[in-house]
Amino acid sequence: MFKVATINLAGMRGSLLTGKASKVGFGADTWFKSEQFDIVAFQETRILSSDVAYLKCLEMLGIQEEDIYLLPDAYKKGHGGVALYLNPKTCKINSIRAQFENETEAEKYCFSGRWLEADIEVAGHALTVISAYFHHADSPTVKLSNGKLISRSISERTMDSKHKFMNITTARMRELINANRELLLLGDVNIAHTELDLKNWRGNKTKAGFLPEERAWLSLWFANSDDDINAIYNNYKKNNIINYTPPKTSQFQQGTLELVDICRQIWGSESIYSWWSNRGHAFDNNSGWRIDYQIATPKLAAYATTARVCKQEAYDKRWSDHAPVVVEFE
């Protein structure tokens, strides 16, 4: 058996050192130390390995520096970033890499998206595990604090950037699958796939994170979507809701990746969320989104036995606006 978690920290410092919950004993370390994990993927670490606070954070988590791999944001200090903790007692690491850092025009294509992958062996399984962060794009329907709608040019730039990152990561997963690698993708995708994955889906049809052309990528990833690919691709090419056409891609013409959304496989039609807005009473009313995923190739997904979200007990005990997603494999 091995246990895997993914969590968007919304800042390693805040979740462990400076946040309101962490200051009164309800930081991320309390959750992390409550269980024995083999693999943990972190997103939005918002920290550099050279920061003095980084070693303090690792000390609180009880992690040795050599057992965690940090990939900070490439262009904005204090933003984004991912990390991958691999338990040295149970995981053998064969290689680890930041796949896209040397891409031509990396800034244009990767933007704030982060992708850290490792080839490992755990509990008799050889697999490639990935900690990924797919940044949130902007929809033209978003209102700013002054009540005005966000600039159309800004929203299109952020959405273009996200689709380009979705494109290169989809191509990378297809490459790994074609090489017969067992794949485990962990991370914050910032997309709710279906109406089951967010409470207020009717009110979010024109909002980034639930737009048809974003959801189309997840349908492309997951198994049993072939019958819908033509309709999905038409939506991708031209979304009449906000009149936006994403960048061109050939990925939709190459067939689905046949990956498995592990939580949906286990939960069926049950709606369980992993992110709640800090606005209003979203957390208390459980008006959330499921945007944090554990996704695997079918053979590996077949070993998954339980999936759960570790939602904090109360709003004032939240150390992130996300909650960990934990899956156990036999």
Of 224, 324, 320, 228, give the one whose Cα is nearest residue 274: 324
pLDDT, tens digit (0-9, with 9 covering 90-100), for 170-227:
999 999 999 999 999 999 999 999 999 999 999 998 889 998 889 989 999 997 654 4
Does residue 78 surpass a pLDDT of 80? no
75: domain CATH number? 3.60.10.10
Please tell me the total count of domains within the chain. Answer: 1
Quote the percentage of the chain above a pLDDT of 70: 92
Return the structure tokens found at 114: 């982060």
Cβ atoms of 324 and 7 closer than 8 Å = yes
Cβ atoms of 202 and 152 closer than 8 Å = no
Cβ atoms of 149 and 138 closer than 8 Å = no
Mean pLDDT of 103-120: 75
CA dihedral 313, 318, 319, 323 (to 10 degrees): 70
Cβ atoms of 139 and 133 closer than 8 Å = no
pLDDT, tens digit (0-9, with 9 covering 90-100), for 251-302:
988 989 999 999 999 999 999 999 999 888 999 999 999 999 999 999 999 9
What pLDDT, on the 0 to 100 scale, is given for residue 227? 44
What would the 3-class secondary structure string for 100-112 be? CCCCCCHHHHHCC
Greater confidence (236 vs 187) lies with 187
The C-alpha atoms of residue 3 and residue 326 are separated, in whole angstroms, by 7
**Range from 251-255, 256-260, 310-314, 323-327 carrying the lowest mean pLDDT:** 251-255
C-alpha to C-alpha distances, 99 to 19, 149, 176, nearest whole angstrom: 32, 36, 12
What pLDDT, on the 0 to 100 scale, is given for residue 213? 84
Cβ atoms of 221 and 257 closer than 8 Å = yes
What pLDDT, on the 0 to 100 scale, is given for residue 99? 84
Burial letters for 260-270: b for 16+ Cβ neighbours within 10 Å, e otherwise? bbbbbbbbeee
Does residue 16 surpass a pLDDT of 90? yes
Which domain, by its residues, includes 14? 2-329
The C-alpha atoms of residue 295 and residue 127 are separated, in whole angstroms, by 13
Cα–Cα–Cα angle for 290, 319, 266, nearest 5°? Answer: 30
What pLDDT, on the 0 to 100 scale, is given for residue 5? 98
What pLDDT, on the 0 to 100 scale, is given for residue 110? 59
Does residue 232 surpass a pLDDT of 90? no
Mean pLDDT of 18-39: 95
Does residue 241 surpass a pLDDT of 90? no
Task: Assign 160 to helix, strand or coil.
Answer: helix
CA dihedral 178, 181, 184, 188 (to 10 degrees): -40
**Bridging pattern class, strands 125-133 and 91-97:** unpaired
